[in-house]
Structure 1
Amino acid sequence: MKTHTVPPPTPVASPGELMDGRQRLRLVLVLGSLIAIGPLTIDMYLPALPSIVDDLRITSAQVQLTLTGTLAGLALGQLVIGPLSDAFGRRRPLLAGVALHVLASVLCVMAPNIEVLGALRVLQGLGTAAAAVVAMAVVRDLFSGAAFATLFSRLILVMGVAPILAPTLGSGVLGWTNWRGIFVVLAVFGVVLLVVAALGLPETLPVALRRSAGPVATLRTYGALLRDRTFVGLVLVAGLAMAALFAYVAGSSFVMQGQYGLDEQEFGLAFGAGAVGLIVATQLNVRLLRRYTPQRILVSSLVAGTVAATVLLAFAVTGLGGLPALLAALWVVLAAAGLAMPNAPALALSRHGEAAGTASALLGAVQFGTGAVAAPLVGVLGTGAVAMALVVAGGMVCAVVVLLVVVRPARLGALDPVPVAGAAH
C-alpha cells in the first residue's frame, strides 16, 4: 500500500510583498507625508509662542495650553478614528480627518483670542490623529512581521526628521510674516496632503474584512485587545521607549544650554547629532532584519539602551566626563530607541491584523500618552541633567522589565495572528 506525503502548505504572500520597488517607494512617500503632518502641526509653531503671547496679551502658561490641546486631540482622536477605519475602510476616515485639519488651520489664522485658538488646536489634533492611525493601519494591512518592521523603519526616518525641521521651518515663516502665517502654511500642506492621499493611496481594507462601528462592538474589540497580555506588554514597551525619547527632547535644551552653556547654534548641532543617531539606527534595523528576528533585535536594543541609560544617570549625578560623556551615553540610548521603536509595534500589530486600525489607535495613544507624561515629569524633577537622566533611565528600565515580565520574549514565538474574539463583523 502506497503512502502519500502531504506537502507543506505554501506560504501566502502578503499584498505588500507583491509590490515592486517603485510601488513600495511610492507607498513610503505617501505614508511618510501622512506621518509628517503630526510633527509639523505640533512643533512648527513653537518658535511663535512668544509672539502669540504678545499679540493676544496672554501669559506663557496660557499659550502652552494650546500645545496641550493639540496633544490631547491627537491622543483621543486615535482611539476614535482607529475603530472607524476598521469599519469604513482607511480612505474615508483619513480624508475626513485631513479635511478637518485643513479647516481648523484656516480658522486658526483668524482666531481672535486664546480660547478660540486653543479649541481649534484640539480640532487640529483630532484631524492629525487620522493620518497617524491610518498610516500605521495601512502598513499592517499590507505587511506583517519583519516586513512590517522594515517598512516602518523607513517611515521612522520621516518621524525623526520632521520634528527637527519643523521649528526651523516655523522660524523661516516668521521671517516674512507673523504667527498666523504658520497656520496658513499648515493649511496649504494639508490641502496638498489631501490631494496626495486621494490620488496616491488606494483602499487597503477589503469590505469583507471590515468590522462593526457600533460603540458596543468597539468597546468589545478594545477589551479583547487589552486581554491579550503579549499585545499589551508590547504596547507598553513601545510607549516606555517613546517616553525616554520625549524626556530627552523635553530636557535637552535646559541641560545643554542652561547647565553646560551651549549657545543656540551649538545646541542645534548637538541635538541634531542625537537625532541623526536615532535615524541611522532605524535604517540599520532594516539590515539587521535580514539576519535576525524582530524579537531578538527588540530584546538586544532594550538591554543595551538600559545599560547606556544607567551610565547616563551615573554621569549626570557625578559630573564625570562632563558634557561629552553625557552626550555619548545619550546617543547610545537614542540609537537603542531607534532599534526598539519599529520592532515593538511590528510584533504587537502582527498579532491583530484583523483589527489593525483599532490596535494601531491603542498603540499610538499609549505611545503618545506615556511620552506626554514624561515631558512634564522632567520639568517637575528639575531642569538639570539628573532630572532628564532619571526619566530617560526610568523609561528604559521599565521597558525592559515589562518586556521580560509581561511579554516574556521566550514565549513570543512566531508572529501568528491572534484573532480578537467576540468582535462583530
Structure 2
Amino acid sequence: MTIKDAALPLEDEADLDPLLTRIGDARYVLIGEASHGTHEFYAWRAALTRRLIEEHGFSFVAVEGDWPDCYEVNRSVTLADGAPEDPAQVLNGFDRWPTWMWANQDVVDFTRWLRDHNTQRHPEGRIGFYGLDVYSLWDSLRATLNYLQAHQPEHVETALEAFRCFEPYAEDPQSYARSTRLVPSGCEPEVVKLLTQLRSDAPTQSGTNRNARFNAEQNARAAAGAEAYYRAMVAGGPDSWNIRDTHMLETLQNLMNHHGPDAKCVVWEHNTHIGDARWTDMSEAGMVNVGQLVREQHSEDGVVLIGFGSYQGKVLAADYWGGEVEAMTMPPAREGSTEEAIHRTLGQRSALFVFKGDEESWASQSRDHRAIGVVYTPHAERWGNYVPTVLDRRYDVFLWIDETTALTSLHGMEPAGGELQTWPTGDEEPVP
C-alpha cells in the first residue's frame, strides 16, 4: 500500500475514530511525540486521551516526568484534600530543567479538563496522573522521609542513613555519579535498605491511607532507580538508558496493580521510549525501551503503540543542556527520511496511518525518522536527530502533522542546570 492510499484524514477529533477502533479493548496505549516541544503533538495526544477516558474507561495517564512532581498534579486532578484546585498552580512549581516538558499550556488545559471530569466520578474511580521517570533522587528521599516520620517512625533512621550517604554531593547528580568511580557501590546499600524496610511491613490500607502508602513506596523505588541510573552513567554504554526505561516499565506495572485487575493505562513519552526499539538501530546498540518491554510482557492484554512525526515548523528546545528555552525553526526533513517521503506525497496535509502489517506497505521499509530532544541544534540535522526505523513495526499507528508550532511554556526563560538525560531524548552523552 502506498502513502497516498494509506493516509486517513486528520483534521478534527472525529477523525480519531479509526484509531479508537484499532485500540478496541487494549489495556496499554502508549502515545509518543517526535519532540518535547511541539504543540500539535501534545494537543492531539490530549484529545485522544480524553476520548480513551470517556469512551473506553481508561484508568490513568502516566508520563515521562518525575514521580514526586507529577504526584502533586495527581492530587490536584483527583481532588485530594488540601491539593490546589487548579492544576496550573502545581505545574507552575515544576523547577527541574527542562520545565517546559510539563509546565506548558497544553498540559494545563488537559489537567484542568481531567480535574473537571473527575468531579463527576466517585473518589475511588477518579482518573490519575503520574510520573514514570527516574531523576527525582533527592525529592523522592525527602518525600519518603516525610511519610516515615508521620506513619512509620521506627524506620526514620534508615531514611536518615540514606540522606547522610548522599549529603556530600549537595544534590548534584553528576558529582555523585563521578564519586562512584572510587566507591562503585555508591549509596546503593542505603537506598535498597530503605526500600526493603518500607515494603517489609506494609499494612493493609484503603482510600487515602492506601494512596499515601503507595506514594511513599514509589518514592523509595524512584530513589533506588535514580541511584542505579547515576552509577551506570559513569560507565557509558546502554546500561543507564536501559535502567531508566526498565524503571519506567516497573513503575507502570505498579500503577496497573494499584488500580486493580481491570485497569487501563495511557502513557505519554517521547517516540524513542514509545516506539519498539527492536525496529530501530537502538537494538543494535544494546538498548531496550518501554514500548518494546510492554509488547513483550503484555501483548495478551492488548498493546497499541502510537508515534508522531512532522516535516517542518517550530519547536521549543534549548541549544545546550540547561540552556534557555526558545522557539527554534525546525528545517524541512532531510532527503530520504520518512518525513520527507510523506510530505512529498501529501503536501501540507495532516494524516492518520493505521498499520495492518502489510509486508508490501510503504511503511515496512527502513528509513530515517526524526527525533528531537530538549537539546536541539537545527543545523546538525545533516548528521543527527534521526533514528533508522521500520515505521509499521515500530508503531501500530502514526499521526502525521506536516507543519507544527511550538509549545507555550509557563515559565518563559529557563534556569541553567538540571540532571542529564542520556541519548536519544536528551541528546547528551552520559556523564564522562
Give the TM-score normalised by the residue count of structure 1: 0.28
More helix by share: 1
More strand by share: 2
